């Protein structure tokens, strides 16, 4: 299998996992099972017209009104993939990290009028909104990020692992600098290193790689990056308790390999709750020692079957789009684009553009040949989803006699 096929697999796996999980984001595992059975395809999982027709009281009608304003269109990915594609576009244009370009793209997307959710961004969290608002006020790049250990840096970072798959020094600096735009907590950045390094390791490896060697080298990279951040980045937030929390968590994953899946998840949940100081935080929460650690463990435990791995991950519930994106890019980097189900890529809106921008990422030519920009593509996708929602909102209004 070629490196190019693995790189393309990482990009398409990220987008497919994101789109699959976007349909059920925020649902608990039991709610997914009770309402949808098991979500396996990128398609409409609910009969919206039936829900509208059966809504017969003020509570159910109000619920539908709120639901339809935020409903994801089947086949559309969220800001996880959008932010990753901005990094791809940066590398394709400049063959290097250009923080000014990335920051300006964040601002350009966010300022799109008429406002969609946050400009053109779909499903962003409050931390990203605050960070981009800081950038709009010309806050320096090393302090624009919020003090958050959320998974926002990790979810978008796969292109760095692809582009710098053969240069770990450049990869390390790129992950830190790009992550700092939105995250200043050392754990949020170190967790992004988990995804980027794993992608580069998988791209360079054979399918029968040693789990032990992988986790050992991953631990070393993340630990050294934590030390490097403390020594060289004064604006990063850390203390003695958080300094090596992420690298220590990788050691925990190694210890969990011999346990059954559900028991291992219980250990991850306990770690997430204790390190976040939130008793409700678990493996599907945005906190990195929840969802990023879970995605790493889940990938290793279920890596032999790309399709089943991604399906099982998103059906755990919670932050499903981001978990789907992270597990998807890892599985894609291991198995390559050819293993991603055709029914997913055919259902994925904008798939041809993703393939084009992904191909450029691994091209040695310094010219970016895409004729249509990412920004123009995202405007189209947002309009598609707005019209999709509007169709059902109009049906509901008719039902209400409005």
Contact 130, 146 (CB under 8 A): yes
Query: Hey, where are the domains in the chain?
Result: 3-400
- Of 18, 88, 89, 1, whose CA–CA distance to 345 is shortest? 18
pTM, rounded to two decimals? 0.95
Render pLDDT for 125-182 as a digit per residue (tens, 0 to 9): 999 999 999 999 999 999 999 999 999 999 999 999 999 999 999 999 999 999 999 9
User: Cα torsion at 322, 325, 326, 327 (round to 10°)?
Assistant: 120
Confidence tier at 369 by pLDDT (50, 70, 90):
low
| Average pLDDT, integer, range 54-62 | 82
**List of residues 6+ apart from 294 with CB closer than 8 A:** 265, 268, 283, 284, 316, 323
**Enclosing H/E stretch for 376:** helix 374-400
- The answer to whether 320 is a known ligand-binding residue is no
Q: Considering the domain 3-400, what is its CATH architecture?
A: Orthogonal Bundle (1.10)
DSSP 277-335: T-TT--TTSSBTTTHHHHHHHHHHHHTT-HHHHHHHHHTTBSSHHHHHHHHHHHHHHHH
Contact 318, 284 (CB under 8 A): yes
Task: Give me 125's structure tokens.
Answer: 């969290």
- The answer to whether 322 is a known ligand-binding residue is yes
- The answer to whether 206 is a known ligand-binding residue is no
DSSP 228-258: HHHHH-TTSB--TTTTTHHHHHHHHHHHHTT
Q: What does the angle CA 308 – CA 313 – CA 318 come to, to the nearest 5 degrees?
A: 155
Cα distance between residue 142 and residue 232, in whole Å: 12
Cα distance between residue 72 and residue 199, in whole Å: 28
Contact 14, 355 (CB under 8 A): no
Cα distance between residue 153 and residue 195, in whole Å: 10
Phi and psi torsions of 72, nearest 5°:
-80, 140
Cα distance between residue 296 and residue 215, in whole Å: 10
| Average pLDDT, integer, range 327-348 | 97
How far CA 43 is from CA of 168, 227, 312, in Å, comes to: 39, 44, 17
Q: Select the more confidently predicted residue: 245 or 369.
A: 245
Cα distance between residue 140 and residue 78, in whole Å: 27
Helical packing angle, 3-22 and 320-335, nearest 10°: 160
DSSP code at position 350: T
Task: Give me 323's structure tokens.
Answer: 């978990």
Average pLDDT of the chain?
94
Q: Is the pLDDT of residue 219 over 90?
A: yes
How far CA 301 is from CA of 251, 265, 272, in Å, comes to: 15, 11, 19
- Of 201, 156, 199, whose CA–CA distance to 181 is shortest? 156
Q: Is the pLDDT of residue 366 over 50?
A: no
Cα distance between residue 272 and residue 254, in whole Å: 16
Confidence tier at 207 by pLDDT (50, 70, 90):
low
- The answer to whether 169 is a known ligand-binding residue is no
**Enclosing H/E stretch for 86:** helix 79-94
Render pLDDT for 278-318 as a digit per residue (tens, 0 to 9): 999 999 999 999 999 999 999 999 999 999 999 999 999 99
Helical packing angle, 306-314 and 3-22, nearest 10°: 30
Residue 341: count other Cβ atoms within 10 Å of its Cβ.
Answer: 16
What is the model's pLDDT at position 54?
Answer: 85
Confidence tier at 371 by pLDDT (50, 70, 90):
low
Where residue 26 falls (left for φ over 0; alpha for ψ -120 to 50; beta otherwise) is: left
- The answer to whether 79 is a known ligand-binding residue is yes
């Amino acid at each position: 299998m070629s490196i190019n096929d693995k790189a393309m697999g990482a990009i398409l796996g990220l987008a497919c996992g994101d789109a699959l999980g976007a349909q059920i984001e925020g649902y608990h595992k039991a709610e997914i099972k009770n309402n949808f059975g098991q979500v396996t395809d990128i398609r409409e999982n609910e009969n919206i017209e039936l829900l509208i027709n059966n809504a017969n009281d003020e509570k159910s009608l109000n619920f539908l009104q709120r639901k339809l304003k935020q409903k994801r269109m089947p086949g559309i990915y969220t800001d996880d993939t959008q932010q990753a594609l901005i990094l791809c576009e940066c590398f394709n244009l400049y063959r290097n990290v250009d923080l000014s370009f990335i920051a300006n793209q964040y601002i350009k997307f966010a300022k799109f009028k008429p406002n969609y959710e946050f400009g053109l961004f779909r499903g962003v969290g409050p931390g990203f909104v605050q960070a981009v608002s800081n950038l709009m006020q010309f806050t320096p790049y090393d302090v624009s990020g919020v003090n958050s250990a959320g998974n926002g840096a990790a979810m978008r970072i796969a292109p760095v692992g692809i582009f710098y798959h053969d240069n770990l020094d450049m990869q390390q600096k790129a992950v830190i600098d790009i992550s700092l735009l939105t995250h200043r907590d050392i754990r949020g950045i170190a967790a992004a290193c988990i995804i980027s390094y794993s992608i580069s390791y998988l791209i360079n490896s054979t399918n029968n790689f040693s789990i032990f060697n992988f986790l050992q080298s991953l631990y070393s990279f993340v630990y050294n990056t934590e030390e490097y951040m403390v020594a060289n980045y004064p604006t990063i937030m850390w203390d003695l308790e958080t300094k090596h929390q992420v690298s220590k968590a990788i050691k925990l994953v190694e210890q969990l390999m011999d346990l059954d899946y559900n028991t291992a998840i219980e250990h991850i949940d306990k770690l997430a709750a204790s390190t976040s100081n939130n008793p409700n935080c678990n493996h599907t929460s945005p906190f990195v020692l929840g969802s990023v650690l879970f995605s790493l463990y889940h990938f290793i435990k279920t890596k032999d079957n790309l399709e089943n791995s991604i399906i099982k991950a998103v059906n755990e519930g919670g932050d499903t789009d981001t978990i789907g994106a992270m597990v998807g890019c890892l599985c894609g980097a291991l198995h390559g684009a050819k293993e991603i189900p055709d029914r997913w890529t055919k259902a994925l809106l904008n798939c041809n553009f993703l393939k084009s921008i992904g191909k450029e990422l691994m091209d040695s030519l310094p010219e970016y040949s895409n004729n249509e920009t990412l920004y123009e593509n995202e405007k189209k996708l947002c309009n598609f989803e707005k019209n999709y929602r509007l169709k059902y909102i109009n049906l509901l209004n008719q039902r209400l006699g409005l």
